[in-house]
Chain A
Amino acid sequence: MGKALLKRAGLLVGTLLLVSVLAFAAFSVIPGDPTTSVLGAEATREEIAAFRAQHGLDLPVWQRYWSWLAAFVTGDFGRSFKFDMPVSELVATRAQVTLVMAALSFALIVAISLPLGLISARRRGGVVDRLVTVLAQVTMSVPNFIMGIGLMFLFALVLKWFRPEYVPLEDGLGAHLRFMVFPALAVALPKSAMTVKLLRGSILGELGQDYIRTAYSKGNSQSSALRRHVLRNAMIPVVTFLAMAVGDIMAGSIVVEQVFTIPGLGRLLITEIGHRDYPVVQAIVVLLAAVVVGCNFLADLLYRVMDPRIAER
């Protein structure tokens, strides 16, 4: 197990390095210098030269990459072209917003999908099961930003449960979360539908196994067989799926932030792409990649812990 783990950790670092190279190279080879979009078309030659020297744009690419990477790992993400302030400051406040939303979405997915998946697998073919299956299939087909617009319409405009205006954390945690629960729900609902389906299928698959028949023959009731035998195995693919879903949740948050005009990482990313403010874009991309790749690593780890058969191979 130790050796396999080391190999995975090596892959993790390798993937992150690859992402950092790609993120850096992408913005270094493109035509169209950021200087013109930041300083404007009428900038004098001296101003441009000064700007390029200040941001190190006059050095060769590999040298810039190396100093950027060396600074990045220490938490110095460079300076924003547009705002002329450290990227780390710019990103920190936005990251908090996106993280709250992603965490809330994740919690909602678990809270919605586990009970529904269990109930529909237990009463297979019953009214609840059929209703859940149909609803899940439809919900799965709704893109999260359309779900966001729908939730906005229903809860903010028709029912007036919340005002469609961002409430920052400074206004109190309760108020912040009360607002954030709606965008989080927009991300969580389609993903929950997939999780319900996976869990239901996984439980039904395990229920047909020989060891479950043995459990019944030893006098277990359905609920105790489910609780003590089925769930432990049925949860394995679900846990992996959830850990892998973190990437989609982050991406979903970025899109849904636009719907609810939440000042998170996504909005910053979109506006700064427009401004060609590459230090900011690079930093956000690499940070998001780190979260996603890290969660995939965690998924792999959990998989090995929950299913020892994998580790033996």
Chain B
Amino acid sequence: MKRKNWYLTIGVILTALMLLYIAVGFFWTPYVPSAMSAADREAKPSLRHLFGCDSMGRDVFSRTLEGAGSTLTIALAVLAVGAVCGLAVGALCGYYGGPVDALVMRLCDAIAAFPSVLLALVVLAVTGPGKYNVIGALGVLFVPSFARLVRGEFLKYRDRDFVRSARLMGVSGLRIIFVHILPNTWPVLLSGLTIGFNNAVLAEASMSYLGIGVTPTEPSLGYMLKDAQGYLFTLPWCAVFPAAVVILLILGVGLVGEGVRERMGAVS
């Protein structure tokens, strides 16, 4: 009897909707996001301005579209940096082991022991704000968690019979890592990627909210929320919509990860 995997179903639908929403924003926004219009200042949500306007007459719908696009880009870039480097480090350490492995893992433990938002703040204090600095700082900080995850998987597989027989047949170490072992780690990796993605979105939003993320001229949901806080009572829509976009994005991807884990549990 196969139980329906609600997590995966709802998660995939929600994520797809959010991606569609963001994809639209890459090509089209109803207004220029930074354009101010004196006539529309503090306009309530209506058909003309779906999400209303902020205190400077900027269209909140256009700004959330653009901000969500920027958040998504940053999160994906962070994930790419963290996952690729983490994969390389974890695979090599897990497969070959030895003193280098022990040293690298200690270093990873030291970095991972620290909350990533805090570390990224310190890195950005040194490098200064900006989109690429955020990606670099968060990307590096995400390496340890992926490295540990991948290493664990490789430890599990490196002494399995199919790996041993491949080795006996003279297959090179790199080929074993990428062709024989890596495909097996895919489900674990996928669930790790969803967690990483959510952490990246969270970190990016928190950092721009604190004013130490992307520069204020770049679009960002965090900055929108920071601005909106001053008008919370009079212009609640300025806070509600960007907040909803962040929450739904994290919720959707989180549900997908949950669904993947549930499915793995059912298989093994």
Contacts and interface: CB of A to CB of B under 8 A. Distances in A.
Contact of B229 (A248, A250, A254, A259): A259
A11 interface: yes
B254 interface: yes
Chain A, interface SS category: helix
Interface string B252-264: 0011001000000
A146 B225 contact: yes
B209 A258 contact: yes
Contacts of A250: 115, 118
A146 B243 contact: yes
Interface string A166-190: 0000000000000000000000000
B206 A15 contact: no
Given A157-B233, A281-B122, A255 B117 contact: yes
Contact of B121 (A18, A27, A273): A273
Contacts of A26: 122-123, 126
A203 interface: no
B239 A137 contact: no
B47 interface: no
A41 B258 CA distance: 54
A293 interface: yes
Contact of B247 (A30, A146, A247, A270): A146
A145 B208 CA distance: 11
Given A15-B109, A23-B122, A273-B121, A247 B243 contact: no
B176 interface: no
Contacts of B118: 250-251, 254, 285, 288
A145 B209 contact: yes
Interface string A274-313: 0000000100010011001100100000000000000000
B125 interface: yes
Interface string B206-240: 10011110000000000001001100110010010
Interface string A91-133: 0000000000000000000000000000000000000000000
**Interface size range on B against A:** 35 or more
Chain B, interface SS category: helix
A273 B125 contact: yes
A270 B211 contact: yes
Contacts of B198: 141
B225 A247 contact: no
Contacts of A270: 121, 210-212
B115 A137 contact: no
A193 to B, nearest CB: 11
21 contacts: A14-B110, A26-B126, A137-B254, A137-B255, A138-B251, A142-B247, A143-B205, A143-B250, A145-B206, A149-B243, A153-B236, A153-B239, A157-B232, A247-B114, A247-B115, A250-B115, A251-B118, A255-B206, A288-B118, A293-B113, A296-B113
Contacts of A157: 232-233
A292 B118 CA distance: 11
B202 interface: yes
A292 B121 CA distance: 16
Given A149-B243, A255-B210, A141 B109 contact: no
B167 interface: no
A37 B140 CA distance: 28
Contacts of A143: 202, 205-206, 246-247, 250
Task: Name the residue among A149, A248, A250 with the largest chain B CB count within 10 angstroms.
Answer: A149
Closest A-B pairs by Cβ, 9 of them: A251-B115, A141-B251, A273-B125, A141-B250, A15-B110, A247-B115, A146-B243, A251-B118, A157-B233
A26 B198 CA distance: 27
Interface of A: 11, 14-15, 18-19, 23, 26-27, 30, 137-138, 140-143, 145-146, 149-150, 152-153, 157, 247-248, 250-251, 254-255, 258-259, 269-270, 273, 281, 285, 288-289, 292-293, 296
A150 B124 CA distance: 28
Task: Name the residue among A137, A145, A146 with the largest chain B CB count within 10 angstroms.
Answer: A146
B48 interface: no
Given A153-B232, A273-B125, 8 more contacts: A15-B109, A138-B247, A143-B206, A149-B229, A270-B211, A273-B121, A273-B124, A288-B118
B122 A19 contact: no
Nearest to A249: B115
Given A23-B122, A152-B232, A247 B113 contact: yes
Nearest to B254: A141
